Amino acid sequence: MDRLQNKVAIITGGIKGIGLATAQAFVAEGAQVVITDIDGTNHQTVLEALSPSAHFIEHNVADEQAWETVFTKTIELFGHVDIVVNNAGILDFNDAEHITDDIWHKVLAVDLDGVMYGVKHGIAHMKKNGGSIINLSSIAGLIGIPNLFAYNAAKGGVKMLTKSAALYCAENQYQIRINSIHPGYVHTPMVDAYPEMRADLEKLHPLGRLAEASEIAQMAVYLASDESKFVTGSELVIDGGYTAQ
């Protein structure tokens, strides 16, 4: 398989869940990947499974300076960057009446600011040769969920900054495509941490189940590949029919 042959990707939050599945899918399609994560506990195991096509960099996506370090190291390793997957994210249950400043800023720092930095620095480093930036949003970026107030705000922001940045790149003829992916509920450590919710979450999806991380990763492969060279500023929904209701 060579849909991503000779391409170099940075994938945030790549040690587990959708990020790991995306790294696995990219390597299978011929890409070299740099996996970043704030928690590197299992990175050696992940790298051994993906060797020799993957490298790991510890990375806090909410720290702008850390982004320059990631790009610098990736370019030192591979000479260029073609793909950025802004996947890192956190979840907190909160509502509009009881939200605290600390929780609000914590969620938005990772889930929105982290994506913004990835887009900003991705454009700076990719505008000469072009490429693809893929932002993981959520169905929570499309519909309201009462107990995900801050997460709704962040994921909705990801959807709209994606569109703005895509138009900016097109206007400046940078040949950088920027799109967002909006999964429904997916079997990831973040969701599976709440097994008591699983049956109720499955019922929300007309297909009657949660998505597998590998199913989201395949959409990322499409957006990273030259097959999607006329796709930019789009929101691609993978939700088992959730938002069709």
Report helix angle 43-50 to 17-28, nearest 10.
Answer: 20
* Helices within 1-97 (DSSP H only): 17-28, 43-50, 64-78
Please, which residues bridge with residue 148 across strands? Answer: 94
Among the listed residues 117, 151, 185, 242, the single catalytic one is: 151
Give the separation between CA 136 and CA 166, rounded to whole angstroms. 15
CB 127 within 8 A of CB 81: no
Give the separation between CA 44 and CA 48, rounded to whole angstroms. 6
Is it true that the peptide bond before 206 is cis, omega within 30 degrees of 0? no
Give the separation between CA 126 and CA 80, rounded to whole angstroms. 8
174 catalytic per annotation: no
Catalytic sites, residue numbers: 151
